[in-house]
C-alpha cells in the first residue's frame, strides 16, 4: 500500500507541530501542513523528514478549497480554533467528502449537529472529535480505569476531577471561557443521577483533590461534561460527577470574573476574557510549571472503591500526541468504524493508554498498578 496522505490544519501551531512530529516518527505517512499564510517547514523536520512533508496555504472558510484538500487526504487532522468560532465547518466538509477526521475541538454543539446530520445520512468513515485533554483524555482515562477494574461489577458512582495550568494560547483561552457557559447552553453546577441532570447551588458544588507535586492540593468545582454523561449511559452508572479547576492563580481569577459576570454569553465578552486569560496564564508560568492532572474515583455496587490518577506536564505536546495516537488508529483500521465519536468511543481504552504511555509524556500514572493488582 502506498504511503497515506495526512492533512494537518493548523500544522504550524503548537498542537499541530507536535502531532506532525509524532506522526512522522511513528508512521510512514506523508504530511501536508496547512496554514492561512505561507510558512516554512522547521529545519529540524525538514532535514530529517523533508521528503515526506509538504505545505499548503488554506483558509477553512473557503469551502471549495477545503473540499479540494479533503479529496487529496486520507485523513484530515484539525488543530485549528477557537472551536467555538470554527464550529462544524471542517467536520461537515469531511462528512460531505467522506474524509476521516480527527479534530482537537468540536465540543458539544458540533457533536450534536454532526449526530443530527448522521441521522439523515450515515457516514462511511469515522469522524472523531474532542481529541484533546479536556475533552478527550478526560473521557478516555475514566473509561480505561473502569475497563481495567470492573471485572463484571456495576459502577454505582463515578467522580472525575480535572485540573490544569499552562500558558494558554488565545485560542485555548477562548474555548476555556466559552466552556464556562457550556458552549452556549448553560447548565450551571450539576451532576448526572440515573441519567438525569441534577442542579446544585454553588455552595454544594465544591470538591478537593490532591496530586503529587507540582500540583498538590486543589479545590475544584462541579461542571457539566458531555463525554462523561455519555460514558455514564454506556456503563449504566447511577451517579456521575465531574469537577474541574484552572489552577494557575491569575488564570483562575480571570475565569472567576468571566463566570460571575457571564462574559461567556457573547463573543465580545469571550474575546475580552480570553485575552485576559492568555496574558494572565503567561504570567502564572513565570513561577509555576505547566501541569495537568486527572483523578478518577469509582465506587462499585459491591462497595469496592477504586482511585486512579494521571499527570502530565506539557499540555500542548500531550494534545498533539493524543491526536497522533487517534490518527494512527484510523490509519490502522483500529477505530470503532464509521460514524461520529468522541475519543473514548473511537478506540479501545487499553490500546490508547498503551500508546500514550509509550510516548513518555506521563509524569505520574497509578492506573497501571491498579490494573496489575
Quick check: 65 pLDDT over 70? Answer: yes
- DSSP E strands: which ranges in 131-275? 155-165, 190-193, 196-199, 206-210, 217-222, 239-246
- Residue 328 and residue 355 in contact, taking contact as beta carbons nearer than 8 Å: yes
Q: Which are the contacts of 258, defined by CB distance < 8 A and separation ≥ 6?
A: 177, 180, 264, 269, 273, 277
Quick check: 119 pLDDT over 90? Answer: yes
- Residue 158 and residue 142 in contact, taking contact as beta carbons nearer than 8 Å: yes
pLDDT for res 200: 96
pLDDT for res 371: 66
Which three-class secondary structure string do you get for 328-363?
HHHHCCCCCCCEEEEHHHHCCHHHHHHHHHHCCCEE
pLDDT for res 1: 45
| CA 234 vs CA 140, 157, 184, 257: distances in Å | 13, 14, 25, 36
Max avg pLDDT among 81-85, 351-355, 367-371: 351-355
pLDDT for res 372: 60
229-286 residue pLDDT tens: 999 999 999 999 999 999 999 999 999 999 999 999 999 999 999 999 999 999 999 9
- Residue 106 and residue 115 in contact, taking contact as beta carbons nearer than 8 Å: no
User: Taking the CA of residue 66 as centre, how many other CA atoms within 13 Å lie in the half-sphere pointing to its CB?
Assistant: 22
DSSP code of 109? H
> What pTM value is reported for the model?
0.95
- Rounded to whole angstroms, the Cα distance separating 220 from 357 reads 26
Tell me what percent of the residues of the chain surpass a pLDDT of 70. 99
pLDDT for res 2: 63
Tell me what percent of the residues of the chain surpass a pLDDT of 90. 93
Consecutive H or E run containing 311: strand 305-312
Amino acid at each position: 500500500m502506498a504511503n497515506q496522505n495526512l492533512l494537518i490544519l493548523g500544522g504550524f501551531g503548537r498542537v499541530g507541530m507536535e502531532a506532525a512530529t509524532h506522526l512522522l516518527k511513528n508512521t510512514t505517512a506523508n504530511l501536508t501542513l496547512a496554514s492561512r499564510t505561507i510558512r516554512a517547514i522547521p529545519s529540524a523536520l525538514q532535514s530529517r523528514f523533508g521528503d515526506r512533508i509538504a505545505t499548503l496555504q488554506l483558509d477553512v472558510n473557503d469551502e471549495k478549497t477545503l473540499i479540494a484538500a479533503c479529496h487529496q487526504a486520507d485523513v484530515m487532522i484539525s488543530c485549528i480554533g477557537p472551536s467555538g468560532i470554527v464550529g462544524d465547518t471542517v467536520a461537515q466538509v469531511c462528512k460531505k467528502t467522506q474524509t476521516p477526521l480527527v479534530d482537537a475541538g468540536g465540543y458539544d454543539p458540533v457533536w450534536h449537529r454532526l449526530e443530527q446530520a448522521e441521522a439523515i445520512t450515515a457516514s462511511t468513515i469515522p469522524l472523531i472529535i474532542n481529541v484533546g485533554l479536556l475533552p478527550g483524555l478526560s473521557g478516555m482515562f475514566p473509561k480505561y480505569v473502569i475497563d481495567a477494574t470492573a471485572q463484571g461489577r456495576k459502577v454505582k458512582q463515578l467522580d472525575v476531577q480535572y485540573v490544569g495550568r499552562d500558558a494558554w494560547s488565545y485560542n485555548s483561552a477562548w474555548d476555556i471561557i466559552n466552556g464556562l457557559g457550556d458552549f452556549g447552553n448553560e447548565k450551571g453546577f450539576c451532576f448526572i443521577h440515573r441519567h438525569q441532570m441534577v442542579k446544585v447551588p454553588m455552595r454544594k458544588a465544591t470538591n478537593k483533590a490532591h496530586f503529587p507535586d507540582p500540583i498538590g492540593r486543589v479545590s475544584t468545582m462541579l461542571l457539566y461534561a458531555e463525554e462523561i454523561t455519555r460514558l455514564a449511559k454506556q456503563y449504566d452508572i447511577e451517579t456521575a460527577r465531574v469537577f474541574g479547576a484552572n489552577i494557575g492563580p491569575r488564570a483562575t481569577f480571570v475565569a472567576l470574573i468571566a463566570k460571575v459576570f457571564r462574559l461567556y454569553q457573547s463573543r465580545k465578552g469571550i474575546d475580552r476574557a480570553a485575552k485576559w486569560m492568555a496574558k494572565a496564564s503567561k504570567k502564572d508560568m513565570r513561577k509555576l510549571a505547566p501541569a495537568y492532572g486527572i483523578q478518577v474515583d469509582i465506587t462499585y455496587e459491591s462497595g469496592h472503591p477504586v482511585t486512579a490518577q494521571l499527570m502530565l506536564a506539557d499540555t500542548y505536546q500531550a494534545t498533539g500526541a493524543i491526536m497522533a495516537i487517534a490518527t494512527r488508529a484510523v490509519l490502522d483500521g483500529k477505530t470503532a468504524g464509521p460514524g461520529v465519536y468522541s475519543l473514548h468511543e473511537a478506540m479501545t481504552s487499553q490500546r490508547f493508554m498503551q500508546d500514550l504511555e509509550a510516548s513518555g509524556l506521563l509524569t505520574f500514572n497509578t492506573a497501571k498498578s491498579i490494573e496489575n493488582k
